Amino acid sequence: MSLRSFLYSTPIFLTVFLLQEAVVTQFRLPLGGFNLLLIVALIWAALSTPEIGALTGFGAGLAMDLSQSSSGPMGQWTLVMIIACYSVAFLGYGDDNIRANPINIVLLTTIGTVAARIVYLVLGILLGEEAGNLQSIFWSLAGTAFWTAIISPLLLKVISFIHANVFGLSSRI
Amino acid sequence: MRYGGDNRGRLLIIVLIVTSLFLITLDLRGVQVIDGLRTGTQTALTPVQKAGSWAISPLRNFLSDVTSLGRTRNKIEKLQAENDKLRLTLQNRKNADALLKQLNGVLDLAGTAGYKVVGAKVISHGSTTSYTQSITIDVGSNSGVRSNMTVLSGYGLVGVVKYVYPNSALVQLASDPAFRIGARIAGSQQIGILSGQGTRRGVLQLLDNRTQIRKGDVLLARGSQGGRPFVPGVPIGSVTDVDNSPGAVTQTADVKFYTNFSTLGVVAVVVSGEGTDPRDALVPPKPIPTPIPTVTVFVTPSPSPTN
């Protein structure tokens, strides 16, 4: 990842973070709504190499840790996002069956968000946080999956375009 | 071809994971720098969030209304029902206050005169019988009420009990055209017969044509033998107009009843007034005119301009 790519990526994720904090959190959506930064980071990672995916996860996770809606200690989301974004990037990288197919990227992103939240939950329990009852956890995860499946196809084209421009790649979805 | 990674990539992952674990450890140990970082971020984000909230609020409200349409309707219906209930309670409270005021008035009057009274609530205005001007009260023979007993309000005479039932009674109002009462003028003690006219005004016919009657004179009940149907001394009304026609056989006057019959809520039936005659003690006090404030303006002439 060149310095140029890093400089371009930072304001993009900063804007997404501000949109998440200032706009998305204002809506009282059913089933808990969605996290725009999480979805964008996972789509971005799915289009990138594993190293860039890990770095993306680190930056996005750091921002999510700074969010007022984050209840865990600083670094918890960072750790989860590094693992999640790296995993998504690792699964997609070099496999054209996944990367060239938007449905597969949406599926990968949806599974990635749910998995990230599950890992965050498990890590939180290990760190002594209250998790709530099973029913609420289930509905929250189901809501995450639902909203990610709705939102990510809408964002995919835009993120793919920006990603291609930032990294100077000619191939776009 | 599946990506296998290289040493540089693995090292990067390890560094990032160790950094995140380092951050977790610092935060759990309560390092001030981490708290300051979060506080600083929140401080910087607050204006953006406020702006976002302001910009999004119309859309958010719309979405909220759409998603909770059924609940909103239920809530509106519930609030409307609650509002109606509160309005009714307030109305009842106002009604109760008005009744209490009337009860205080009638008890004051009866207490001053020394009458033994039974308080009653007016449960019906008008009657299905032939009386055109009557009320039904919620006390009857079970409370010691008998026919031909005087009925009072806080201002004076209301009427007379005509029919008594176990738990209610029919009262003929003083405004009834068939109503007659012996009256005397407070002070001069001139006597006459007052008859109802179907309105709040009655007509007094003086028995002695040589006596003088003036506008504003107060009429009191003369009283009957044994205090029934009328106890003595009850204020009836005041003279509003006098007919002094030279050719008239008797002198007549128009009288306005003190009691407003259309707003009766609480009355009292005099169950024992025998032997008590308050004379003119129940004459209502004359209204004291409110002094008109005067304003004195001092004008100081300005000095004449000098050239």
Tell whether B5 is within 8 A of chain A (Cβ): yes
Q: Which residue has the tokens 């449960």?
A: B123
Is A71 part of the contact surface with chain B (CB cutoff 8 Å)? no
Q: Which of A170, A163, A171 is nearest to A56 (CA)?
A: A163
Residue B295 C-beta-side C-alpha neighbours within 13 Å: 2
Q: Name which residue leads in pLDDT, B42 or B147.
A: B147
Instruction: Kindly indicate the confidence band of residue A171, based on its pLDDT and cuts at 50, 70 and 90.
Output: very low
- B57/A contact by beta carbon, under 8 A: yes
Q: For the whole model, what pTM was predicted? A: 0.51
Minimal CA separation from B79 to chain A, in Å: 23
Picking from B5, B42, B52, the nearest residue to A50 by CB comes out as B5
Do the beta carbons of residue B182 and residue B193 sit within 8 Å? Answer: yes
Q: Choose between A96 and A140: higher pLDDT.
A: A140
List Cα–Cα distances, B245 to B194, B203, B251, B252, in angstroms.
19, 15, 8, 9
Average pLDDT over residues B121-141: 73
**Structure-token match 């890590």, residue found:** A123
DSSP H or E stretch at residue A166 = helix A134-167
Q: For chain B, what is the mean pLDDT? A: 82
Task: Give A53-64 pLDDT, tens digit per residue.
Answer: 889 999 999 888
**Tokens standing for A35?**
């996290």
Find, in chain A, the residue whose alpha carbon is nearest to that of B49. Answer: A22
Q: What is the DSSP letter of B87?
A: H
* Record: contact A22-B5, CB cut-off 8 A: no
Nearest alpha carbon to residue B222 among B207, B244, B240: B207
Q: Using 50, 70 and 90 to split pLDDT, how confident is the model at B128?
A: very low
CA B280 – CA A65 distance, rounded (Å): 90
Q: Give the pLDDT confidence of B48-92 residue by residue, as tens digits.
A: 877 877 787 777 777 767 766 777 778 888 999 999 999 989 988
What was the pLDDT predicted at B274?
Answer: 65
Closest CA to A83 of A40, A137, A41: A41
Which residue, A42, A116, A119, A47, is CA-closest to A85? A42
* Coil, strand or helix at B272: strand
- Measured between CA atoms, how close is B39 to chain A, in angstroms? 9
Q: Is A29 left (phi over 0), alpha (psi -120 to 50) or beta?
A: beta
Nearest beta carbon to residue A74 from set B17, B23, B57: B23
Mean pLDDT calculated for residue range B188-207 = 86
Q: Comparing C-alpha atoms, which of B196, B205, B106 is closest to residue B159?
A: B196
Task: Give the ipTM.
Answer: 0.82
Of B273, B290, B187, B180, the closest CA to residue B238 belongs to B187
* Angle, CA of A44, B18 and A36, to the nearest 5°: 30
- Residues B239-248 have a mean pLDDT of 79
Q: What are phi and psi of A39, to 5 degrees?
A: -65, -45
pLDDT band at B157 (very low <50, low <70, confident <90, very high): very high
B275-to-B149, B226, B265, B294 alpha-carbon distances in Å:
15, 8, 29, 51
The b/e string for A43-58 (b: 16+ C-beta within 10 A; e otherwise) is bbbbbbbbbbbbbbbb
B72 and chain A in contact, CB less than 8 A: no
The verdict on a CB contact (< 8 Å) between A27 and B63 is yes
Q: Does A65 touch chain B (CB under 8 A)?
A: yes
Q: How confident is the model at residue B275 (pLDDT cuts 50, 70, 90)?
A: low
Q: Which of A33-47, B162-176, B238-252 has the lowest mean pLDDT?
A: B238-252
**Which one of A22, A58, A79 has the shortest CB-CB distance to B48?**
A22
Q: Which DSSP letter does residue B245 get? A: -
Give residue B3's pLDDT band: very low, low, confident or very high (50, 70, 90): low
User: Which range scores top for mean pLDDT: A34-38, B208-212, B277-281?
Assistant: A34-38
